[in-house]
Structure 1
Amino acid sequence: MSPAKALEQSGIRKSAVLLVSLDPDLAAKILGEMDKEMLREVSVEIAKLEGVTREERDQVLEDFLRNTMQLDVTAQGGLPAARDLLSRVLDPAEAKKIVETIEAATRSTPFGFLRKADPQNLSTFLSDEHPQTVALILSYLPAHQAAEILQGLPQQRQIEVVRRVSQMEVTSPEVIAQVEGALEKRLSSLFAEDLRRAGGVKSVATILNLTDRSTERSILDSLEEEDPQMVDRIRKLMFVFEDIKRIDDHGIQIILKDIETGQLGLALKVADEELKDKFFRNMSKRAQDLLREEMEYLGPQRLSDVEAAQQGIVEVVRKYEDLGDIVIEGRGSSQIVV
C-alpha cells in the first residue's frame, strides 16, 4: 500500500499530523501522490492544526506504518519495521532522515524525546547537570546533535563530559529510566512549546515550497475558494526574496528584464553579499555601475518600502516560473526541460 493511500484511510486530522511530523521533502512527495480533493482537505487541516500532543503523534505514526505495511507494527518490532518500510518507499538518504524522526517519536531508545530539541536550549538546560549525567545523555543521542550540545557547554565542562563518555561502560536500565524521567519533567515546558507550534500556515508553506508548481497551484486555488485570507498568508510565507539565490544565472538574467534599477537597488539594501553578487554578476558593466550608484544615493529607507520592493521582485520570479521560463532549485522541477 502506498503512503498516500495509507493516509487516505487514516482520516484528515491524522494525515495532517503525520505530514507535519515528517521531513518536508517526504511530506511534499506524499502530497504529490494525492488526488485533488484529498490535497485540499489535508492542506486546510494542516493550516488549522493545533493542540497536537506527543501521544497523538506517536499513535498516528504507528497507525500509518501499520496501514502501509498491512501488518502489526508492534509485533514486528517497531523501529526495524519502520526502517523496512522506508527502505521500500524512499532513497537511502531520505530514509535515514525519517528513521531518526520515527525513532524519536516512538521513544524506542533512551532520551529519544530529546532528538528534536534545539541543541542550544539543551546546552543551557544541561550546563548545571552533573558531568556524568550529561555524558550518559550524549552517549544516546545522534553524534551530530551531541556535538552541538557539547560545543554549547563551558570549556571545562566539555572536558569533564568527554572524559566520562570515554570511560562509560554499561549503565543499568533503571538508572537510565530515572535520569530520563527527571530530565523529561524539567524540559516539559520546552517540548510543550514545540508541540504547540506543530501545523499552521507555516507548515503548509514549508511543504508546498517543496512540491512541484502544478501541485502547489492546485492546492492553493482550491483553498482560495474556501479561505482567501489564509491562502494569502501561506503565499507570503512561501518563496521569499532571499530564495532568489536558488535561481540559476540564466533565470536571473530573465527576471532582470522586468525589474527597474530603482526597485532592485531598494530591494538589495538589506540583502546579504551573496544575493547582491548573484544579481551583479548577471548584469552588464554599465548596468552594474547604475545599480551601485542607485544604492549609494538611496540613503535611509523605511523597512516597509524595502520589503515592498522585494515582494515586487518575488512576483516577477513567480510569473516567469509559471510561464516555465525559469526553474527554482528544490521546487520539484527536476524533470522539466527548458
Structure 2
Amino acid sequence: MKKKIDGLKQAVEMLQGLDLSAQQSVIAEIARRDPEMAIKLKKNLVTFDDLQYLTVSMMKRLLQDVELDVLGLALRGASKEVTDHLMGMFSTGMKRDIDDIFKGKPRPLNDVMAAQNKIMEVVLKLIEKKEIILSKDKSERMV
C-alpha cells in the first residue's frame, strides 16, 4: 500500500527552509502561474506578519532567544499592524530600546531581512517544540 503524500504540506515545508526573500520570490512566481495555489501556500506558511498573533506570554518566550536589537532591526521591514501589535506589548523602557534601533540610522535592506530570518528561525523552532502557537483564527482563544 502506497503512502499518501500531502503535496501542499511538503511545499510549505520546503518554502519554510528558504529565507524570506527567496520565499517571496518563489510564491510570486507560483502566483503568476497558479494564483489559487499561491493563496493556499500563503495561508499555510508562517511569515513575519504572523507575529501579530503572538500573545504577551509567547512574546516573552520568543525574547528569551531573540535580542532586542535584532527585533528592532527586523521591525523596520514589518507592516504597521505587526509593529503596532508587538510594540504594544513592551514596557516603556523596552519600547525605548527597540525604538532606538527601529528609528535609528539607515541600515541595508539585507540586514533587515537577515534580522527577520533570524527571528523566524527561532519562531519555527518554538512552534515545532509547541512552546508557541500562531493562530490566525481570531475566534480561537489562546489560554
Give the corresponding residue for 1:310. Answer: 116
Residue 294 of structure 1: how far off its partner (Å): 2.2
Give the corresponding residue for 2:3. Answer: 37
The TM-score, its normalising length taken from structure 2, stands at 0.66
Give the corresponding residue for 2:97. Answer: 290
Q: Please say if residues 52 and 86 of structure 2, whose CA atoms lie closer than 8 Å, have aligned partners that are also in contact.
A: no
The TM-score, its normalising length taken from structure 1, stands at 0.31
Give the corresponding residue for 1:198. Answer: 34
Moved >3 Å (runs of 4+): 42-47, 199-204
In 2, distance between residues paired with 1:322 and 1:276?
A: 24
Unaligned runs of 5+ in 1: 1-35, 48-194, 210-237
Residue 321 of structure 1: how far off its partner (Å): 1.0
Q: Which amino acid aligns with 1:311?
A: N
Q: 2:64 aligns with which of 241, 251, 257?
A: 257
Matched position secondary structure for 2:131: coil
Q: Which amino acid aligns with 1:322?
A: E
Deviation per CA, 1:277-297: give whole Å up to 9, x if none: 222222232211111122232
In 2, distance between residues paired with 1:46 and 1:327?
A: 21
Cα pair distance change 1:277/1:43, threshold 3 Å: closer
Unaligned runs of 5+ in 2: 13-30
Cα pair distance change 1:257/1:284, threshold 3 Å: farther
Residue 197 of structure 1: how far off its partner (Å): 2.4
In 2, distance between residues paired with 1:270 and 1:196?
A: 24
In 1, distance between residues paired with 2:9 and 2:61?
A: 35
Greater share of helix: 1
Equivalent residue pairs, number: 122
Cα pair distance change 1:293/1:43, threshold 3 Å: closer
Give matches, 1:1-338, under 5 Å. Answer: 37-40=3-6, 42-43=7-8, 197-198=33-34, 202=38, 205-206=41-42, 209=44, 238-297=45-104, 299-330=105-136
Deviation per CA, 1:193-232: give whole Å up to 9, x if none: xx9722797366246x1xxxxxxxxxxxxxxxxxxxxxxx
Asked which structure has the greater CA Rg, the reply is 1
Q: Please say if residues 265 and 295 of structure 1, whose CA atoms lie closer than 8 Å, have aligned partners that are also in contact.
A: yes
In 2, distance between residues paired with 1:45 and 1:240?
A: 17
Q: Please say if residues 253 and 282 of structure 1, whose CA atoms lie closer than 8 Å, have aligned partners that are also in contact.
A: no
Q: Please say if residues 71 and 115 of structure 2, whose CA atoms lie closer than 8 Å, have aligned partners that are also in contact.
A: yes
Matched position secondary structure for 1:37: coil
Cα pair distance change 1:254/1:37, threshold 3 Å: same
